[in-house]
Structure 1
Amino acid sequence: MKKINELYTRKPRIIKVVQFGEGNFLRGFVDYMIDVANEKGVFDGDIAIVKPRPFGDMERFHAQNNIYTVSLRGKRNGKIYVENRVITSVQKAISSYNDYEEYMALARLDTVQFVVSNTTEAGIVFDADDKFELTPPNTYPGKLTKFLYERFKTFHGDPSKGLIILPVELIEDNGIRLKECVLKYVDLWNLGEEFKKWICENNIFCSTLVDRIVTGYPQNQAAEICEQLGYEDQLLDTGEPFALWVIESDKDISEKFPLDKAGMPVIFTDNQKPYRERKVRILNGAHTSTVLAAYLMGKNIVRECMNDALVRKLMDKIVFDEIVPTVKLPWQEAIDFAKAVYERFDNPFVDHALLSISLNSVSKWKARILPTFKDDYAKNQTPPKFLTFSFAALMAFYTSDKLENGVLVGDRNGERYEIKDDRKVLEFFAANSKSKPTREFVTAFASNTDFWGEDLTKYNHFVDMVCEDLDSMKKNGMKATVEALVKES
């Protein structure tokens, strides 16, 4: 079988984007979108990928002339959707360590307009021990600071040579956080007030929200997919069809980065928070509020939940009756997003394990459910029935007095499962979930301000409702409790 680069070639273009990160997500999201925009004639620019970490090499990229396939598989408008796209938007793939001079030469390239990064949530960090003299500095913000300083010196502080910086690391206000780190390095390394002024006035640090599940190289299916494609591809990257990129900036960058004009799901805004809230409340909230109950009903992956009439009805009640009305966006936008989420959950190509979603469920309930709960309570002056049920389901899932090797060991009809969370959470359940009467147990959990940041017993009837649900789960089982709950509504 021929290699992909024996069948496909790249059209030469100027390099417009320097991308810190060679991982699956950037290749299946950013590089895919830019490739489409190139094809549609609205961008006409290439990407230089820079590996930000010292380990590993870029040989797989070089062997294929940086050409690879993105295979998007899932559901769209209720039908199976498969798209295989050969990506030709990457011109270079280098290591910031092994190819340091070539990497720094990109800072001197006048055609560069954008910096994109995904260095994980831990990548945007300030380390006072990082040094300017290192080639390159250790941290990503340190690398970026030195890169920008090289550009500043090369073009003598030319205002037009500032860059648009688009971090996609999954932290809130990622652009603001990154800029803060860069400015700290400017001070630490004594790079001067003129450089700092150029950073602040002539570079745009955008905060972004990204959403697409990219599953990467399909180890067990790669041979079959390549056989269907008709070529060998060691960089094959799989993901779901759904995508969303919300870009927040003080200055409008949509004309310079017109991916939306190529039909890409990119939203330019001066406030990304409603979109972040929509994602957290609907997508993440739907997971957190249903999967623990579904697991105790015998389900193991998300798709099973979508195909079970009872779990699906529970999710409908939670999402459409209690979550969507609290989202601070037009109602139809929230409904459309929720429908898209359902298609994503029902993806026949992704087996998303409920136990993997269950990780750290206490902090997830606080971040993903509690704000919705509070908005609904403020409006109706009574706890929302189904979100309150999800609190009881969490307690049922975590019920165990067996703390072994840093995990709680739960029991599902004789089947062992592991409960993973912060140690204080696990110790609380080990000490309280089996030994205390229901009301004492619920009151202790709901009033623990270390877990919730507030005392949840202050919400009228909340403890009563949780106790009723939890007692029903203990006496009748999870399935019967859910059946009674949805029947009442």
Structure 2
Amino acid sequence: MSSRQENIWMHIGAGSFHRAHQAYYLHLLRQSGEKDWSIALGNIRDDASSLLETLQEQDGRYVLETVSPDGERDYTEITSIRKILPWDKDISSLVKQGCDPQTRIISFTVTEGGYYLDTQHRLNPQQPDIKADLSGEITTIYGALARILEARRKTINEPITLLSCDNVRHNGERFRNGFLSFLELINHQDLLEWVRNKTTSPNTMVDRITPRPTPDIAERVKQATGITDKAPVMGESFIQWVIENTFINGRPPLEKVGVEVVESVQPWEEAKIRVLNAPHSCIAWAGTLIGKNFIHESVKVNSIHKMAWNYVTEDVIPCLNPSPLNLEQYRDVVLYRFSNPYIKDTNQRVAADGLSKTPGFITPTLIETYKRGQTPQATTVLPALFFIFLQRWHKNALPYPYEDGILHPDEMHKILSEADPLQKFATDPALFGSVAQNPQFVDLLRNTVKNLENWLQNPDQPWSGK
């Protein structure tokens, strides 16, 4: 467990990604001899209590299995999580840890939907979870941090860094704007000014494909290491983290273990969101529609591979150039990573949260391609796939439950029951921003959906997009 001399980095979000990514980097740093920092791990909601209890039994230790596309497996026992914060409805352990002067960073992984932002990147106060927190509950990162930081302000009054580790463009800025808006809505002026003056929110770019753990991981861990682990986690061998150097109260020297600490993450995050995250969703939706279970199976279907390749090549690369990255090479590396048969990343996991991913990952390329005077034919395939995917969900014809943090099932069922649901979908500004007002886009989406429905009759046929 944590010693008083250690600086504490409190993380909110006890999911696999944090344990395979941020905790892994800090483990490497501690193994190198830099043991001034450790992690205290907790959760906002009661959906990870059993995991936290298991980690408590294991003193925060667990094994990370990584695997390359060539099948090379490696095993690391992660020891950077030195304190487990048990859940209760008042998040009392998180509040207490947040008031510890040794706690200098609060990081979080709440997924794209957990920021509740509209297409203008503003907090959406109509979301039920936000409404709940505005009334004093603790359901979102905003309500949680308001509770934690108000206690910190009143007790130790020490500055702290708030570190977003999610796939949201300009995640630090967007989170911060959402949080400040939340504090304005609850009319907490003292805390609002304190957050403005006593916190920073660096932008970050995070990358490592991390599927949901399956039971066979523990068996391989036991065989390879001799460790009986009830909470192992798995990830691909590739890993990357880029962080802006705007910490307000110290930070671990993560650059010593390969983290890129930079002035601006924008080129990296734009490339990652558009070249990796958006095609990932494209492949998951398309693969699901033709009966595939896994990402690696789906990307090996020539027509699906072509959809993803066309989207990046025809629309994304022209939008992002000039870039300090070799975007063509990055595209090819990404698609190779998706083909990893050993990760067994499910289409179900990657297909989730499409209502947040569409405006965040896809719509900017639609808007910018039109601004360049071009027709975003290749990009429109992605929302067209998502529309067909939602139609399957509406008919209860998906092979798995669809998970979406901002989905209101009754409202979506009503839309999809209309005489022309595509018109409603295509003209929704929450999904498509300014493009929703463009009748050319509606026609393009309608034609693309028809082309995809024809393709679904014979997925082995070559994909031309027309």
1:158: which partner in 2? none
The AA in structure 2 aligned to 1:230 is: G
Q: Describe the shift of the 1:41–1:51 C-alpha distance in structure 2 as closer, same or farther (beyond 3 A).
A: same
Q: Describe the shift of the 1:129–1:83 C-alpha distance in structure 2 as closer, same or farther (beyond 3 A).
A: same
1:403: which partner in 2? none
Q: CA deviation at 1:230?
A: 0.9
Report the more deviating stretch, 323-332 or 447-456.
447-456
Q: Deviations over 1:398-431 (max 9, x none)?
A: 667xxxxx822559xxxx8888975555445444
**Secondary structure, counterpart of 2:156 in structure 1:** helix
User: In 2, distance between residues paired with 1:303 and 1:130?
Assistant: 44
The AA in structure 2 aligned to 1:349 is: Y
User: In 1, distance between residues paired with 2:75 and 2:418?
Assistant: 52
User: In 2, distance between residues paired with 1:60 and 1:362?
Assistant: 33
The AA in structure 1 aligned to 2:462 is: E
2:236: which partner in 1? 240
The AA in structure 2 aligned to 1:407 is: H
**Secondary structure, counterpart of 1:214 in structure 2:** coil
The AA in structure 1 aligned to 2:57 is: A
1:312: which partner in 2? 305
Q: CA deviation at 1:449?
A: 5.8
1:16: which partner in 2? 8
Identity percentage of aligned residues:
18
Q: Describe the shift of the 1:352–1:61 C-alpha distance in structure 2 as closer, same or farther (beyond 3 A).
A: closer
2:25: which partner in 1? 33
The AA in structure 2 aligned to 1:24 is: S
User: In 2, distance between residues paired with 1:94 and 1:163?
Assistant: 19
User: In 1, distance between residues paired with 2:165 and 2:413?
Assistant: 32
1:485: which partner in 2? 464
User: In 2, distance between residues paired with 1:461 and 1:128?
Assistant: 37
User: In 2, distance between residues paired with 1:41 and 1:430?
Assistant: 60
Does residue 1:219 correspond to 2:215, yes or no? yes
- Which has the larger Rg? 1
1:463: which partner in 2? 443
1:155: which partner in 2? none
1:84: which partner in 2? 75
Q: For 2:394, which of 407, 413, 423 is the aligned residue?
A: 407
Q: For 1:147, which of 148, 152, 166 is the aligned residue?
A: 152
2:365: which partner in 1? 372
| C-alpha contact 1:130 1:138 (8 A) present in aligned 2 | yes
Q: Deviations over 1:310-363 (max 9, x none)?
A: 432333222223222212661634334423422331222333444555556576
User: In 2, distance between residues paired with 1:449 and 1:185?
Assistant: 23
User: In 1, distance between residues paired with 2:450 and 2:92?
Assistant: 63
Q: Deviations over 1:279-329 (max 9, x none)?
A: 332223213445544555554422113323343233322222322221266
User: In 1, distance between residues paired with 2:266 and 2:193?
Assistant: 28
Q: Describe the shift of the 1:245–1:423 C-alpha distance in structure 2 as closer, same or farther (beyond 3 A).
A: farther
User: In 2, distance between residues paired with 1:286 and 1:267?
Assistant: 26
User: In 1, distance between residues paired with 2:92 and 2:355?
Assistant: 47
Structure 1 vs Structure 2 CA RMSD = 4.6
1:6: which partner in 2? none
Q: Deviations over 1:126-152 (max 9, x none)?
A: 8354499xxxx9734312321343222
Report the more deviating stretch, 104-113 or 15-24.
104-113
Q: Describe the shift of the 1:227–1:183 C-alpha distance in structure 2 as closer, same or farther (beyond 3 A).
A: same
User: In 2, distance between residues paired with 1:96 and 1:208?
Assistant: 27
| C-alpha contact 1:48 1:92 (8 A) present in aligned 2 | yes
1:67: which partner in 2? 61
Superposition pairs for residues 377-392 of structure 1, below 5 Å?
Answer: 377-379=370-372, 381-390=373-382
Structure 1 portions without partners, runs of 5+: 1-8, 153-160, 401-405, 434-440
| C-alpha contact 1:407 1:419 (8 A) present in aligned 2 | no
Q: Higher relative contact order at CA 8 Å, sep ≥6: structure 1 or structure 2?
A: 2
Q: CA deviation at 1:61?
A: 3.2
2:163: which partner in 1? 166
| C-alpha contact 1:118 1:168 (8 A) present in aligned 2 | yes
**Secondary structure, counterpart of 2:155 in structure 1:** helix
Structure 2 portions without partners, runs of 5+: 117-129
Q: Describe the shift of the 1:30–1:423 C-alpha distance in structure 2 as closer, same or farther (beyond 3 A).
A: same
1:263: which partner in 2? 258
Q: CA deviation at 1:34?
A: 0.8
Report the more deviating stretch, 55-64 or 418-427.
418-427
Give the number of aligned pairs.
439
**Secondary structure, counterpart of 1:483 in structure 2:** coil
TM-score (norm 2): 0.73
User: In 1, distance between residues paired with 2:185 and 2:430?
Assistant: 34
User: In 1, distance between residues paired with 2:145 and 2:441?
Assistant: 49
The AA in structure 1 aligned to 2:395 is: L
User: In 2, distance between residues paired with 1:43 and 1:168?
Assistant: 22
| C-alpha contact 2:394 2:416 (8 A) present in aligned 1 | no
Does residue 1:44 correspond to 2:23, yes or no? no
Superposition pairs for residues 436-475 of structure 1, below 5 Å?
Answer: 446=426, 452-454=432-434, 458=438, 463=443, 467=447, 470=450, 473-474=453-454
1:204: which partner in 2? 200
| C-alpha contact 1:398 1:410 (8 A) present in aligned 2 | no
